[in-house]
Structure 1
């Protein structure tokens, strides 16, 4: 009897969870003022999170790993500056910054996330979640939605101090799984899933967030591409 197991490792924020609540919070706190400068809350939110992700990654590479949310908080005024606000500290208070940061903690699961997990579990897959964030925070996204996800199936880059997309971060997950097991990585970030494929996973990509796969940049074979999470799960099962 075969002891080979099947695993799917999901990225969480951006894949299982959308950024809509974060953008909506920025709109509620700063939206009217941002629009006076022809800046949409969503565009500012994307600029802010992208700048924070860049800083977060560079800090990790230089062996100064910090929790992502603390980096996000630190990048607030710098992001306003790059968005075109010439006097950021007069534009928004630290209390308003904190309210927007808390909006990032209020993200919600995407439609079809629970369904995709169930499709995979029914087909014998173990579902894992791999995040650059704090496990308690990201687990809260599932708990608030009433979706069961065992604590032991969450893996955070915080535990090793090596963040995605460094190959060592994915290899640390691969090492937790059986050598001969079937191992998939599923994400809505092409940079994430393509790096996981390079490290040794089979790749499944959902276009729900980025829309354009930009496969010419990825440089790897993507086994499954779908426009919803359930379709991606079905593609993995049928591969």
Structure 2
């Protein structure tokens, strides 16, 4: 019987640290002068962009995440308390920070995680809301081999996670009797995949607090690191 595991990428296999470092470098002093935490600003920018991206998707107006992310910058400065956002920052500064999103680094233990799973007979896949070229670049830049044919982006179908139709094509493409796992560091992501039928593996490396009481779905495996999660999946 075949075994498959589908990973989320950004936030799960990839850390946001390079983006936060760039916000600190480009706007840090100016933000701090306004009593705004650069990291909290970056987080708010990411999360509000995720929301608009999702809202566009569920109202049948899907736009690539990068497009949404760039457009949301000045609004987030306003929401952070900057009264004249376009005097406070420039398009060039925004574009430098947006570009840093293509330079995110893989989390520690990704290669070990893939090796453990593959040696245990799992075929490894990825499903991301990011664009294919950018996200595959994360693996290439880290020297980690990932087969392009096992990579799926929501851009190809215009349906964003956690809409259940974002998960179904991969799930239904595997054999009925095959073992099918979805693994992520976002509880909302894994819990949605579980509704479709995947077994769920959750890693707390990003969120720390799982807030599982919100989702009414229990995980099959939970761990604090990616290699530990892989080992528990193999044992399960």
Give unmatched runs, 5+ long, in structure 2: none
Question: Paired residue for 1:176?
Answer: 173
Q: CA RMSD in A?
A: 0.7
In 2: Cα distance, 1:193 partner to 1:37 partner: 38
3-state secondary structure, aligned to 2:222: strand
* 1:186 aligned onto 2:206: no
The count of aligned residue pairs is 236
* 1:128 aligned onto 2:137: no
In 2: Cα distance, 1:44 partner to 1:35 partner: 10
Instruction: State which of 106, 114, 118 in structure 1 corresponds to 2:115.
Output: 118
Question: Paired residue for 1:80?
Answer: 77
* 1:17 aligned onto 2:14: yes
Instruction: State which of 23, 28, 31 in structure 2 corresponds to 1:26.
Output: 23
In 1: Cα distance, 2:115 partner to 2:130 partner: 24
In 2: Cα distance, 1:173 partner to 1:37 partner: 46
- 5 Å-filtered alignment, 1:193-204, equals 193-204=190-201
* 1:238 aligned onto 2:235: yes
TM-score, normalised relative to structure 1: 0.97
- 1:81 CA drift (Å): 0.9
Instruction: State which of 204, 218, 221 in structure 2 corresponds to 1:221.
Output: 218
Question: Paired residue for 1:94?
Answer: 91
In 1: Cα distance, 2:42 partner to 2:75 partner: 13
TM-score, normalised relative to structure 2: 0.99
In 1: Cα distance, 2:81 partner to 2:117 partner: 45
- 1:215 CA drift (Å): 1.4
Higher mean alpha-carbon deviation, 197-206 vs 167-176, is at 167-176
In 1: Cα distance, 2:231 partner to 2:14 partner: 19
* 1:37 aligned onto 2:3: no
- 1:221 CA drift (Å): 2.1
Question: Paired residue for 1:144?
Answer: 141
- 1:154 CA drift (Å): 0.5
3-state secondary structure, aligned to 2:173: coil
3-state secondary structure, aligned to 2:114: helix
